[in-house]
Chains A and B, each alone.
Chain A
Amino acid sequence: MALPRHLKNGLTPLEIEFLAENELIEIEAAIDTRTDLELLSGTLPALKPLRTNKVPLWMAISLKKKHKCNIRVPDWMTVEALTRMLNEEQSVDMFSPLPYHYMEIAQILLENAMDDIPSADATRTLLKDLREARQSKARAGVDALGLTYIQMDNIGLMEINEIRPFFTKAFFEIQKLKPAAVGGINNNNMDNDLYDYDYGGGSMDGRYNAGGQGNSSLLADFDGKASYSSSTVPESSRFHSTQGSRMN
């Protein structure tokens, strides 16, 4: 594909933000729509004032900009919840269970609905701290590279996307460096796997397997083709290596 490299690597942050806008969020509408709302993704019950309605984030933002609703901050985005999460993040080795789109939702809300968030500044600081703690954990994942896959539960889509180009490339390079007996990946397979990610937010619970959707096939390759030697040179024509035995 003749795409520029920053597009080849997966999704751009803006595309991820777009995906996150489909998440449902609670709002207190100031208008009465009377009829149910027919959307492409399904039907939403009619908005009623003084009642909480669940609508997609994009709609909430659009209504907010017209001053027709107040957005309810999600449970995980309150200062108490974030403080608890940050403590957990710093004490446990695992990623703490934040929503798959937490970075995007937080960013959108902080930008568009500051007045609905009690103590927005504290929230912002906590989110930054959380992100940094998680980033250092992702960095520690580099050590785990080189096995058949790495598992990072509860990591967000934006975070996956940040480390994806680096990790996938490094992963395949390490596989190439493995001794032939272990069984390398043949090249065609590698190209397919690189672009075979499950980008959809729905089914993934933030699980990142290097190799993504193609992971099962990757593993199958290691078992099935263990006898496949990565070298394309037949055994008979292997050379002998010598150390300075050059005879003149």
Chain B
Amino acid sequence: MEDYYDIDSILAEDQNVKCVFQKNIPGLAWLEGGHDDTTVPMDIETPEFFGPKVRNALRADATTVDLTKQCPNFFRFGTFYLQLVDDMALSGVMEGAFKARLQMTMDHTQSGGNSNTTDYLNRLDETERELYKAGMESSASIHQWNQQSFGRIRSASEMLLKRKAT
């Protein structure tokens, strides 16, 4: 589906989904669509973390929802899920929630991670965590440049650790 070698993508696809079969399928092997039959004899049940409870929570205040608790790969799995199921409302909710949370993530990357962020970070899903890391790294490198700590010869951090230990 996505990038074949992307480990996050593989992990996101690993999410279990409840399905209900409408027919008996003896020796089930490969869930490719029927060739003549246009209807697939199977229903996918909406996972709990895409249910109305979470949706309403995301609509009300997306930044406070703990997505890791719901599904660690919430957004990535959501895109896979939407490829299988037509659910316009869900895609709208996800997009809105992602944008609302993005603003918060951006603010946290700018603050240099010194404020009390662990609480917020725990609520991020994997995609957002990646974003946070990328943002942190770039703002940290600019900060370092501003402080002119580049180009100055210092002892390696490992050496300092060793010195402390002895």
Contacts and interface: CB of A to CB of B under 8 A. Distances in A.
A173 B83 contact: no
A243 interface: yes
B94 interface: yes
B130 A169 contact: yes
A17 interface: yes
Contacts of B40: 237-240
A56 interface: no
Using C-beta atoms within 8 Å of the partner chain, give the interface range for chain A. 35 or more
B3 A187 contact: yes
B88 A179 contact: yes
Contacts of B43: 239-242, 245
B18 interface: yes
Contacts, number: 140
Size bin of chain B's contact surface: 35 or more
Contacts of A244: 45-46
Contacts of A164: 138
A146 B92 CA distance: 12
B103 A143 contact: yes
A177 interface: yes
B91 A177 contact: yes
B122 interface: no
A97 interface: no
A74 to B, nearest CB: 20
B61 interface: no
Interface string B137-161: 1110110111010110000000000
6 smallest beta-carbon distances between A and B, as pairs: A237-B33, A13-B145, A231-B83, A166-B135, A165-B134, A241-B85
11 contacts: A13-B142, A107-B146, A142-B99, A162-B138, A166-B134, A173-B75, A180-B82, A231-B83, A236-B34, A239-B84, A242-B44
